[in-house]
Structures are given as C-alpha cells and as structure tokens.
Chains A and B, each alone.
Chain A
Amino acid sequence: MSLKHKIEKGYLIIDGAMGTYLQKSGLKLGELPEMLNFTRAELVEDIHMKYLEAGADIISTNTFGANRLKLKNSGKTVSEVVWQAVSLAHKAIDTFHEKHQGCSKSEQTANPKYVALDLGPIGQLLEPMGTLPFDEAYEIYKEQVIAGVEAGCDLFIIETQTDLLELKCAILACKEHSKLPIIATMSFEQTGRTFTGTDVASMVTLLEALEVDALGFNCSFGPAEMLPLIDRVLSLTHKPIVIQPNAGLPKQIDEITVYDTNANKYAEIMKTIVAKGVTIIGGCCGTDDSYIATLTDIVANAPERVKRERKSVTKVSSFAKTVTLGDNPVVIGERLNPTGKKRLKEALRNGEKDYILREAISQVEQGASILDLNIGLPELDEAKLMPEFIKEIQAILDVPIQIDSSSVACIEAAARSYNGKPLINSVSGKEDSLDAILPIVKRYGACVLGLTLDDEGIPSKAEDRFAIAEKIVHRAESMGIPRENVLIDCLALTASAQQEDVIETLKAIQLVKRKLGVKTVLGVSNVSFGLPKRELINKTFLTMALFSGLDAPILNPGNEEMMAAIDAYNVLVNNDVRSEIYIEKHSKVVPTNNPNPKPKSSTLDLKQVILNGLKDLAVQNTELLLETLKPMEIVDQIIIPTLNEVGQSFESGKIFLPQLIQSAETVQQAFERLKSELKNEEGPSLSRGKIVLATVHHDVHDIGKNIVKVILQNYGYDVIDLGKDVPPEVVLKACIEHDVKFVGLSALMTSTVESMAKTIRVLKAHDAEIKICVGGAVLNPEYAKMIHADFYAKDARETAWIANTFFDIKS
C-alpha cells in the first residue's frame, strides 16, 4: 500500500517532539537545533531510533527551522542541513529494520517507516501584516523542498503554521516540485483562531482546495484543549485528520519547562480523539517516546475507519472567513469595477489605494459578502496591480474576493497570492478560455464563474445557454475540478434590446440548478439598461431570478431597494425564519448616533462646517457655494484660509488631533464634490502640485504618513501615496512617472532611518532638483540634515507649510 493510500485509508503514528529531547540533552536557548545534525549527529539519530522503537511510522527530520533566513549565520546551507537531516533519519530507519527484521528500508517490509521533511514557519510574517513578500516566502520553502526531495524524503509535514498564506506558500512549493504526500497542520489558540485570525473553517477550505493529503493541528496546547477544534474539523471535512498535541500546558519550574499531562493521561485523551475519527496521531512539545509508545496500542485497537463522506459544498474563503453558497442569497459587491465609473477609473490610474479601500469597506458595511474586484484599464498592468490591491484589501477586510479580469496573467498572479480560496471571474465556453483559465482554477483550488457564452456569442435560448454551462462543468470535472467549484452565470440581457431573451436567463438558471446542481451567479443591473425607473426593473428581475434559483447576485449593495428586495425574498421563502432579520432592519426608525445631527435648516456656511468637522454637511454647503463661485474660488477664498485657521487652532492647542482630522475629512468631502464639478467643465484643475509620499523600506508604520496625506490633500495637492515598506527604486519610479519634484518620507524606527537615507541618495542621484521632506518620531532636524534631506517636518501641518512654500516658490 502506498503512503498516500495509507494516509487516506489507514492509521499512522507520527513521532513526538525533537526540540524537547534536544533541550534535555543540552541544546541552549538561542542555539540552532538544526546544527545538532552535524555536531551531535548520533544524538539526533538516537532520538529517531527512540521514536521508531516506540512505534512511530513517520519520523520527522530535524529541519523545523532549516530555512535560509534562520541559517544565515550558521555556516551551513539549507541543502547541507536538509541532506544531513534526511540522511540521519534514513540511517535510523535502516538500523531499526536491521535490528528488527534483518533487512534495510529499501527492501519490502511489512511495517515500512517513512521520513517526513519537517517544514516549520519561516520566522518572518508575510505581507501585508508583515514585511516578507509572498514570492520570497515561496522561494524559501522551495529551497527546502528541493533539497528534501533530492535527499530522499517520503513526504512533507508542514507544521506549527499560524499564517494561512505562509502555509499556502509552503504547500505550493511542495506541490510544484514533487508529487510526495503533504501533511499540513496549524497551531490554534483556544479562541478557535490562529494568531493571524484564521478559523478552522477557512483553514479547511483552503487546504481542501490545495488538495493536501491530511490536515489538522499541532502544538499550542495539549490533547484535552484540542478537543473542541477536533470536533469542529471533523464536521467540516472528509480529509484525514492529523493531531499532534503538546504534552499539556507548559509551566516553568526553576527555568525548566515542564508540561502538565503525563503519558498515560495523554493516551487516555488520544484514545477518545481516535474514536472520534482522527487517524494520524503524534506528539509535539513536551512529548517523548513514552508518549508515542502509548499511541501504538491505541492505533492497534482502533475501530475500523468510518468513512466521512466528502461534502459537496460550494464555498469561497479569505484567511478568516468562509462563505458558503446555497443557503441564503449571497451578495457580491459590484462597485470595484471601473466600467462606467469615472471616479474609480481616476483612482485606479492615480494609484489611489485609499479610494479602493473605502469602496471595499463601504460595500461590506452595506451587506456584501463577497467583493468583485476588477481593475481592467488598458493603461494598467493588471497582473502586477491586482495582487497589490488584493493584498491591501485583505490587510483590513476578511471578506472573500472575486478576481474579475479578462487577463489570464492577472488571474494567475492574483489567484496565486490570494490568501484563501478565491472565486475567479470568469471562464466561458470558448475553447481558448477553457484552456487558459481552468488550469489556474485547478492549480489554486479556486471556484470559477462560468459564463454561458461561446464563440457564437450569448445564445438566445435557455437550452443553448445550458449546453454551454454543461460543457464548462464537464470540462472542469475532466481536469479534476470538483463540480461544486464551478458556478454559472446565465447572463442577463437588456430588456430594452432583447426583451424575449430576458426570461430565457431565468429559464437557464432553472435548468442549471436542476440538471447540473451547481450554484448560480448573475449580474442583474444590465437588464434595465435604457429603460426609465431602472431600479424597479432591477428589483423585480432580481426577485424573479432568486426564485428561479439564483444563489449570488452581483449588485451594488449600496442600493437600499435592491438589498431590501433580498430581505423581502428571504422572508417569503422562509429563509428568514419568523422574519426576525427583516423586522430588525425595516420596522424601526434607526436613531442616529451622530452627535452632530444635521440642523433643520442649513444655517452654517462652509467655513463653519469645516471648523466644526461636520462631514455630512460638506457636500451640501459646497453645492450651495457653486451656485455663485467657481471651484478654485471656493478653494482659495474659503477652504485654504479655513484650513489655516484649523491648523493654528491645532498649534495653539485649542483643538486636538481628532478635531484636526475631522476637519480634514470634511474638506475631503468638499473636494470630492468640487472635483466632480470640474469634470463637467473646462478650466484649471484643483491640483496645486504633485507630491509622492511613502513610508520607507522595511518600515510598516503609516498612520502619521496617512495623516500627512489627508492634510496635503486638503491643501489641494495630488498625493501619490506609495504606502508602506516602499523600496527606494519604487519611490524613484513614481517620481519619474508622475514628474514629481517633492517627496515626503516617513520612518518610525531607528533601524529603518537607513532606508530613508538610501532613498534620498537614490533620488538625488537621479535628479538633484527633487526635494525631500522627512518626518517620523525618531527624526529631528539634525538627523534630517545628516541624511541630506531638504526639509524636516515635525508634524502634518508643518509638512503642508513646507509644501506650500516649495510650490509657491516653484510656481
């Protein structure tokens, strides 16, 4: 029986802790355990032997931290360490077999033993919460994997992971460089989530999608504390479950760590765990061969494996949230699509990530469960930018994302670095589409949206659209993509142009649901194009589609009528039992929490509105002023002087930071209204100049920089915000691309001020005319001078003053 087969069908025992043994044998804190493969080879081999004698089927190599970052100063390469570790494990197995059966591992034995290449976390946190790029993390794991395969390991154990994205990197590295089995385990807290927020459901969704051979938990706590997690994971997946708990909870007695669960107690609980359905067991911190020995009896007396049925569930996920389709309608937010949206196009062209994020947040707050993300503009490099935007969104939101693009390269790049199981929009019935998109879907375990169109276009008749849907589903299945990962969009046509075909969409949905059993998606807004009272048509069509079997409408969640139609539908089909949600949302007049309610009549002018931070009144007051003043006049005569007054109040301590920001946000609202006015007329733009802002390389602190950005935008500057952890060459590129001569750099750490100095050198070497203003808690005027910055600003207001001086002089 092959190992893959054993993992799937049988019981297996993995070894216990390596680190615990090494510490008992003198490994000092701060010393690299992997070096003992060389300095204490016999000890490592002896530990392997102990576990083999205890009954372990799988021994893990002493390579938990054998990555290029941790081995940097060790004097050994990753390859050397991995080779040595795998060799020691093989040697132990050979010795074991010779001792017990008189034959070596290479010959057939009744009780084969396996060497698992142990892959622990890299030790650095991946972007966006950390600074390690996805591609670099992948390369780090790839190096270990290639060495392990060449050295002859039998499988991979990726363990003690707390970051789902890092785990994905490791799994891809394994899958793309071998066909060996993969066991993946994460370390959870008793909260039911990992340190990075991943819940059991999201872990399962991604690991199933990536087709690991077994999944589960290790470390953190003992078997008793793991029981709730085990119940949860068994309910979610048919995959073999792996459990490697610690020997209980740790205590420190005289500087030595001891664990509170002895081998007998451990065995008692593990027996319960096996009875629940866990089939691969071992130990982690604090365990030794005595613990593993108890597991042998448990496995020997384990009941026959109960097959858990594979759940055919359509789900997409992020790192922390799984959305299942099929129960209630799931709203996919459509607003992050530049088609017909001038402001969004402008934001994409200008790299205004904050605009994108605000739209994302707003849609989630309005009820979107999945976000569609499309950045398709001809002048943009989608393949480069889409992963960047996804990263930014996933830094603050946990909703799953629908990757929407007609660029294959974009879809590949985005799906690869996406943290979770994405939905890919889309594939069609065209052969080149099926050939290009489905392999990506398979590779990353994504869900895919199939459009019922082919080389002939969109068929009129429902039966013909169904035929395309069937083709897509069957082609996907032939490539190993499970049916539940294919969703179908039967495409809404415009009633004003193809009225007879509108009903065919609904018929097609019914056919797809009945005959294929897959979930359906539909963009409903198209149907009303060209007709008056579009909302009425859309709402009616939406309800009809839902009743026909639509699972996930793509719409604007900010449209209250459409969202209310879904609420009403849920009542009428008994999704919303006792109409509780409907009543909660629609029966009350919701009191405003705004302590600054709108006055009954607007007696305040724009200046007062800004001074008081009355964001809600900014647009209204700006519109009143536009009746008599031009946009630039409003800026020069009212906004800028008022901002100066706000700034002075802040300097004098009359107002504090939140008040400054609230006034700034109010001005932002006014500016948005003025910008939309300027789009309608010819004349000068509001921009007083362009400024590039960035938090320097290796630094991720950006709150101060963001405050500076808001203030500078208030003063009418176009701010190209490059974000955080920005390499010098990226700053330079932005300056060249946008013809910028004024740059603001922020650093909060003494360790990253050197990055600031380097950025200044790079900029000045290119163009001595570029002026650089620096700021951040660790800086002062003397240091700024030392690193050849042109200006030092202690806060946002001073930055604005410096910019004003620079641009006035320049002009």
Chain B
Amino acid sequence: MPCPYSRLSPRAYPEEFAMRIAHYLNQFFGGIGAEEHAGKELEVRDGAVGPGRLLESLLGNDARIVLTLVCGDNYAVEHQDEVTASVVEKVRHANVDLFVAGPCFDAGRYGMAAGALCRAVQAELSISVVTAMSEENPGVDLNRDALYIIDSGTSIANMRNVLDKMARLSRKLVTKEPIGLPHEEGYLRRGWLRDQLVEKKAATRLVDMLLAKMNGEPFESEMPPTAFAPIPMPAGVKNLSRAKLMLITDGGLVPKGNPDRIEGTAATRWGSYSIEGRDDLRAEDYEVSHGGYDTRFVQEDPDRLVPLDALREMEKNGVIGKLHDEFISTCGRSNPLSNTRRLGREMAAKIKRDGVDAVILTST
C-alpha cells in the first residue's frame, strides 16, 4: 500500500505536476561501449538509461525520463550540426519540461557536445536545460555564460552526488524558483552579475575584509580579477614616410549635430568623418558626445583630441606618407567589453578596406 504521506515528502511537486525529461548520454554512459564505439551514430531509446535511472529516482516519483538520446563522442563532434538538429527535433516531439545532458566529468568531446545541445535546446525550445562537467572540460568555457553547468569534478565516483545537484537545480529551473549562487547550487560560475541586498553594508564588508586579510584569515574578494588573453604587439611600421595613417578617438568628437547619434555613455555606434582638404579642426564645426571627462578644452579646439594640425605638418614635412581622409570617432565612456569588441572589429574592417597602414588612437 502506498504511504499516504508520500505527497508531503520534500521532493513533492506542486499539484499533480509530472516532470517529463529528455536525457543525452555519450556511448560510454549509454552502455554501448568505450572509445572504440565513439563513432556511433545518434540513437534514441525510450525511458531512462544508465545514470538516467538514478537521476529519475533522485528527482522523485513524479519525474520521468521519457527519452534518452545516445551518441558516440566522435560522431557528435564531427557531425555537430546534424546531431544538434536531430536532437532538437526529437526533444521537441517528446514534449518535455527539461533537457539534461551528462554528467560529462572531464570528457572533452562529450562536454562540447552536451554544451552545444543544451544551448540549442534552450534557444529553440525555451525549456530548462542542465548539464554537468568538470571546470577543465573544454565544454565549460564555450558555454558557461549561457548554461547552468553543475561542477562534476573529474571523478565518476561522485556520480550520485553530481546527479543529486543536477536534480535539485533542475527542479528549481522547471518550477521557476529563484536560483541561488554557484556555491549554493553547485554550478560553475557563469560570469554574470546580479544585484542582491545583503545583510552587511559595504563599509562593514570593507573593514571585515581588511581585518581578515591582516590576520591571515581566509577572505573572499567580491570580484575575481579579470584576465584577458594578451594581445600581441603588431610589427612596427617599416617606413613611416610612405605609410598611410589614420586618427581614431574614443573621446566622442563628432560633427555639429552628432549625425550618427553616438551616445555619450556606452556608445553602440561609431562614425567616420571627412577631414579632406582641412589642416585644422574648427571649434564651430564639432561637438563632443562624452559625459565622462571635462570636454571644455576639446570643444575650444578639437585638434587637442584629434591632432589634425600636427599630422598635417608631419605630412608636409614628409615624416608620414599620408593622413587618411577620414577620422573615426566613438565614445569610450562606461562601455562594456561585449560592445567595444564589436565596435573594434567594425572599425578594423574599415581600416583594412581603406588600406590604412597605421593608426593613432587618442583617448581621454
């Protein structure tokens, strides 16, 4: 006889809610075999397979893995588009609430496939997705900003623990409960910020952190250091007297009226403006769209920001070959990297198209 109190268990779902799940596994966890079967094509099974059975039981009685998709690691990576399209279609028809992939531990190809599939299912079907990998898995950095990836570590012996975290997070995602922080839920840091009221005001945290540091106690900075891949120094200009130079500024100098409507904060646009036939930028022709510095001096004389006058002189004296007929301008104030990367790429494309050899960047 079933226990009459079973619905009061902590795993109980709201009113008669039965969660339907699709699960993706590689050939190893799908029970086909090891590396020699990595070329195996995608196959579909009804119900739970391998780790899926444990996941199902951890999720509770009212959760069902209705579909398991199994694919060889090599096949999945080598035929990624085909496998992705096929998985998305099968998941769509299965009418599920959740898509789970892995856990993948440190298996690189498995992680890459799981990440790509989770992204595609999430984007195209708008259902919750969860996967699990170790921090070093190459699938993590490609997908961490888009997915919840439970930190599985590298040891398969942790399977139960990992599946338990996946189950808890899945339940929250499907029932749209608020998701806690990485250390609370066990997922890998996604690289996003969200605002939250905390118990202690900033001044208290500041002094607490200093005292912990001075006492040699552990402390956690509220922001991890930002590391960027080094940008190699380009080769020097061989012969400046033959080179075509261009001026670019992020100081927000624009023609009067700001024709490209370049924003004075976090600019999403840039402009290219003719200086053909001019030896000097006149104050009455320009304005500054930038709210982050004292613009009065540039407004008085725009050459202070875009030194056309000096470069014309160098052009006449043969120090440089030619000054390009246009300068580029945008506003660098409070601009996030996701935005400035695009602006930079667009400018670089134009510079290349225009046959420019060297650029002088002036900032404020």
Say whether A and B bind each other: no
Interface residues of B (CB under 8 A from A): none
Interface residues of A (CB under 8 A from B): none
